Chains A and B, each alone.
Chain A
Amino acid sequence: MKSIGQSLPRVDARDKVTGAALYSGDLSMPGMLHMKTLFAGRPHARVVSMDTSAAEALPGVALVLTAKDVPVNEYGLQRKDQPALCGPAALTPGPSPKEPPKNGGGRERGVAGDIVRCEGDLVAAVVAETEAIAAQARGLIRVEYEDLPAVFDPVEAMQPGAPLLHPEFGDTNVCVLDKIRKGDVEAAFARADVIVEGEYRTPFQEHAYLQPEAGIAYLDEEGRIAVQCAGQWTHADRDGIAHALGLANEQVRVIYPAIGGAFGGREDLSVQIVLALAAMRLKRPVKIVWSRQESIVGHCKRHPMTLKTKWGATKDGKLLAAETTIIADGGAYLYTSNKVLGNCTITATGPYFIPNVKEDVYGVYTNNVPSAAFRGFGAPQALFMAESQMNKLAEKLGMDPVAFRHLNALRDGDTLNVGTPAPGPVSIVQCIEAARDRFHWDERRRTKDGGIRPSSFVRGRGFAAGFKNVGFSFGYQENSWARVEIHGKTGIEQVVVWHAGAEVGQGTHTVLAQFAAETVGVPFEKVTMVTSDSATMGNPGSASASRLTFMAGNAVKGAAEAALAKWKAGERPAIAEYTYLAPKTTPFDKETGHAMPNLSYAYVAQAVELELDLETGFIKILRVVSADDVGQAINPALVEGQIEGGVVQAAGYAITENFISKNGRILTDQLSTYLIPTVLDIPDAVESVIVEVAEPNGPYGARGLGELPLLPLAPAITAAIHDATGVWFDDFPLTPERVLRGLGKI
């Protein structure tokens, strides 16, 4: 009967395999209209005028939407700084009375709606009887722009006199600044026997989820505006749409169909607002499907960063100090940059105890595509720097890089850079040991690779580790709602779980069913999931920050316990709702960063073996061992799936995914120019080692997993390349060309 820890079949597997599961683009309704959106296609401009008359006159066109049609023309998850449609409008929105103070940031006026700030800003949406007519009408829209000076480099954007993107938030493009001041770095460097300085650059990354943005909006049976569109957080989508439409949250309903991947890229809104607005105006269903090219131009990316740092250690290999400045390209709008950079700030010292730390982490507005959430949430960039520093320090000290990590790894009670210890058992030592032992690190390191054919191939091994907070936190009260119903007469016949958490492919609905089965004490097969409808369910919280198993698991467990108590008391059916509230956290102190920012962390270590062709610069990853502490594996097969998927995505980030943006225009806007790994490019072997050091606050001891396997791979790869060639690479992706350049062959 035990469900936890079993590799039970996914609740959605049959429908997805047979094609019965409907994704956003599969949905259609009688009387449905079709929408096309028009991007600005320029990085910074004032929309002087728009002429939609020819488009409106085209037979079959039902509606052309522009800025003047949007009731409250602004949106944004953390700050409402983006117009839903850019263009001249009768009204410039001010801060809404509904808006919590944190979103407004004390601004006196709203975002200027007639300014385009990036290529992917929308300027119009056309609704027509057919997709072809909508596309034709879109081509008839005439927009007059006055181009404005633009800025694409965040360092330039920080200089006085740089073109200002958001004067409504003050006279600077700096939209985030996190500081850490712990101990005395100057004094510590003076004591240090070895010092390593480095400057690292990390690239944009495109989510490249299987399913481009798509959705359908309509009026439901109660007259609400219903939007079915893939997302990561039903209630946040709902609130964002309602705000722009000038409606109460409850007048909008968000339902998730099957979702083809998200990775953070669906946390912010894309097509939802214009879709909902069209349905509201026309009182007919309206559907949109973005092409891959529109998807790549139209949604956010992983932050590119420049990371300058200096680390010092004693000759015995104890870390003394780290001083770091990070500048992240936030793109044209804030999205979740503040949250991403919070995670970046805290992980920039790696999973190690460093007594003296100074950090300044900047997020800067530019006229590039907005940067936002992407699996790892700022930690992969920070860890590329931290782990590269660790590998270089180990080399300089003449120490084995794994032994050096082991020596400095965080132990229970050690303070993080925020001056407080990580809550819960700290398990980085267990992860390092597990990866080391499975890889047979000590033997592999000594292996001589004579006889590799062809002779232009060299081999190397590398190691890196990482950690990541579970949940948004940083003062945000983490929460998640669930409802559990127990049906039957004498015995329990069925358990129904209501939960709105987003099943983005990670398997959350299966895991939640396992929690319910375990807690109620019934076989897994007796659990039915009712999911992802904001109108019938409470707030689940987002499917991001590796948080859903933890938060939603606690919610379902709490609701199941309450329902079971009612069942035992004789209630038929026994129904209980429960909202889990996680332990409280605090935001960074503005000057020192001192905080208790998170309620839980998870840890990972990876070892890599690869082969490099010195003639062509191509890298082949032969083997990856990934040891991830998940606290308690709820479903080991799903854990392994997440680890393998995360490693593959990290390999793409590190090697093949070469995102090119020039003057704010994305040049790699198709999957034929932006290359994610194919089945023939992925590592020959990915070995998942599931580490289980229980988290006392987690449901049945679970931590979080989704982001872990992506975190340390890039620095492990550069360490392996150094092992093979003696050359450090401080930037990536490691395209063959970059590799040959680094080796001095080109």
Chain B
Amino acid sequence: MTTHTHPTLPEFDYIQPKTLAEASQFLAQHPDEARPFLGGTDVFVRMRDGFLTPKFLVDVKNLDGTNDLRFDPQAGLTLGAAVNMNRVIASPDVQEHYPLLAEACRLVASYQLRTRATVVGNICNASPAGDTIGACLALDGVLHVHGTGGLRREPLATFFLGPGKTTLKPGDIVTAVSFPVPPKGCAGAYLKLGRNKLSDLSLVGVTVLGSPDPGLPSRFRFRIVLASVAPVPLVAAQAEAVLAERAVAPESIRQAAQLASEASTPIDDVRASARYRKLMVRNLTEMALTEVWKKLQK
């Protein structure tokens, strides 16, 4: 049956807890009825379309530290959960030390959406198409999670379990994502293919981060993360390994791109065929690696 969308939102209760502990407790007590809520750019659309019918939206935007964007030359960058993407893009610290993150944010939807959308929301949504997730993975992001048992850290590398599925448990609230200081001399690129130039979800997204690493045979380390071509954001490990082992050159870049393509498991849908997506993984990975390699040689 066609889902008949509702032009307005269904009713729900808006919960504004005073403390993280209160928020976690409420969420744990209403595991099937309550959802934590940040910018709402995804949850509202899905509620309008009838895919989500939470009884409670628990606003975690004003809780301890969720509004902070901090950079420390030793500790690195911490993005509070409520920091919207336009703030990330505008931050001089992000621009100087994490330009890849700013670039990824810039390709999310439209300016208007980015005044609400958050990086942590993008991560927790756990869509394989999430535009900022590749940068967060490549930059070794770590989540700060507040649960009923208190605070814990969770590396992004093991966070994603499937489309919309993560290791989060009822009561868990991601309060921030933090990144270590990036490797010296690193360079990155995010190439996104959408069917239009504004606001489409990525058909394919390729994130590449490269950095000098004297410990490797090729003397360079590359991180390659693919969007929209697997059930979870996909780290192209074999492609990364080729560029660690072999001298970086057009041939090894092409080989890595081919391996990335082979590692991808995209689906056919109304937006593109799996075949096209696989080919685009190859072409975009080659383009992104070439672009990053050029930057590294400067």
Q: Is B1 an interface residue (CB 8 A)?
A: yes
Contacting pair A735 B279 (CB below 8 A): no
Contacting pair B4 A737 (CB below 8 A): no
Chain A 238-264 per-residue mask, 1 if CB under 8 angstroms from chain B, else 0: 000000000000000000000000000
Q: Is A556 an interface residue (CB 8 A)?
A: no
Q: Tell me how far the C-beta of A344 lies from the nearest C-beta in chain B, rounded to whole angstroms.
A: 28
Q: Is A90 an interface residue (CB 8 A)?
A: no
Chain B 168-207 per-residue mask, 1 if CB under 8 angstroms from chain A, else 0: 0000000000000000000000000101111111000000
Q: Is B6 an interface residue (CB 8 A)?
A: yes
Q: 8 closest Cβ contacts across the A-B interface?
A: A680-B197, A678-B198, A291-B5, A737-B276, A680-B198, A615-B283, A293-B5, A681-B196
12 new A-B pairs (CB below 8 Å) besides A41-B1, A681-B197? A658-B195, A658-B270, A660-B270, A669-B2, A680-B196, A680-B197, A735-B195, A736-B195, A736-B276, A737-B272, A737-B273, A740-B276
Contacting pair A678 B2 (CB below 8 A): no
Residues of B224-283 at the interface with A, using a CB-CB cut-off of 8 Å, are: 270-273, 275-276, 279-280, 283
Count of A-B contacts judged by CB separation below 8 Å: 81
Chain B 200-224 per-residue mask, 1 if CB under 8 angstroms from chain A, else 0: 1100000000000000000000000
CA distance A668 to B271 in the complex (A): 9
Q: Is B287 an interface residue (CB 8 A)?
A: yes
Q: Is B8 an interface residue (CB 8 A)?
A: yes
Q: Tell me how far the C-beta of B295 lies from the nearest C-beta in chain A, rounded to whole angstroms.
A: 15
Contacting pair A677 B7 (CB below 8 A): no
Contacting pair B198 A36 (CB below 8 A): no
Q: Tell me how far the C-beta of A219 lies from the nearest C-beta in chain B, rounded to whole angstroms.
A: 25
Number of interface residues of A (CB under 8 A): 42
Residues of A657-684 at the interface with B, using a CB-CB cut-off of 8 Å, are: 658, 660, 665, 667-670, 672-673, 675, 677-681
CA distance A131 to B7 in the complex (A): 10
Number of interface residues of B (CB under 8 A): 29
Contacting pair A36 B4 (CB below 8 A): yes
Residue from A36, A615, A618 within 8 A of B287 (CB atoms): A615
Residues from chain A with Cβ under 8 Å of B1 in the complex: 41
Contacting pair A740 B279 (CB below 8 A): yes
Residues from chain A with Cβ under 8 Å of B275 in the complex: 746
Which A residues have a C-beta under 8 Å from some C-beta of B?
A: 25, 36, 39, 41, 119, 131-132, 135, 138, 289-294, 297, 454, 615-616, 618, 656, 658, 660, 665, 667-670, 672-673, 675, 677-681, 735-737, 740, 745-746
CA distance A297 to B4 in the complex (A): 10
Contacting pair B2 A41 (CB below 8 A): yes
CA distance A465 to B272 in the complex (A): 32
Q: Tell me how far the C-beta of A361 lies from the nearest C-beta in chain B, rounded to whole angstroms.
A: 30
CA distance A119 to B1 in the complex (A): 10
Contacting pair B11 A678 (CB below 8 A): no
Task: Decide yes or no: A294 and B4 within 8 Å by CB, A660-B270, A673-B270 being known contacts.
Answer: yes
Q: Is B10 an interface residue (CB 8 A)?
A: yes
Question: Would you list 20 pairs from A and B whose C-beta atoms are within 8 A, ordered by A residue?
Answer: A25-B7, A41-B1, A41-B2, A131-B8, A132-B11, A135-B4, A294-B4, A616-B280, A658-B195, A667-B270, A668-B270, A672-B201, A673-B270, A675-B196, A677-B196, A679-B198, A680-B197, A681-B198, A746-B275, A746-B276
Contacting pair A289 B7 (CB below 8 A): yes
Contacting pair A132 B10 (CB below 8 A): yes
Q: Tell me how far the C-beta of B87 lies from the nearest C-beta in chain A, rounded to whole angstroms.
A: 23
Q: Tell me how far the C-beta of B78 lies from the nearest C-beta in chain A, rounded to whole angstroms.
A: 33
CA distance A64 to B35 in the complex (A): 35
Q: Tell me how far the C-beta of B30 lies from the nearest C-beta in chain A, rounded to whole angstroms.
A: 22
* Chain B residue at minimal CB-CB distance from A454: B287
Contacting pair B271 A656 (CB below 8 A): no
Contacting pair B199 A678 (CB below 8 A): yes
Q: Tell me how far the C-beta of B144 lies from the nearest C-beta in chain A, rounded to whole angstroms.
A: 32
* Chain A residue at minimal CB-CB distance from B2: A41
Q: Is B3 an interface residue (CB 8 A)?
A: yes
* Chain A residue at minimal CB-CB distance from B200: A675
Q: Tell me how far the C-beta of B156 lies from the nearest C-beta in chain A, rounded to whole angstroms.
A: 27
Contacting pair B4 A673 (CB below 8 A): no
* Chain B residue at minimal CB-CB distance from A294: B4
Residues of B1-39 at the interface with A, using a CB-CB cut-off of 8 Å, are: 1-8, 10-11
CA distance A358 to B254 in the complex (A): 54
Contacting pair A656 B5 (CB below 8 A): no
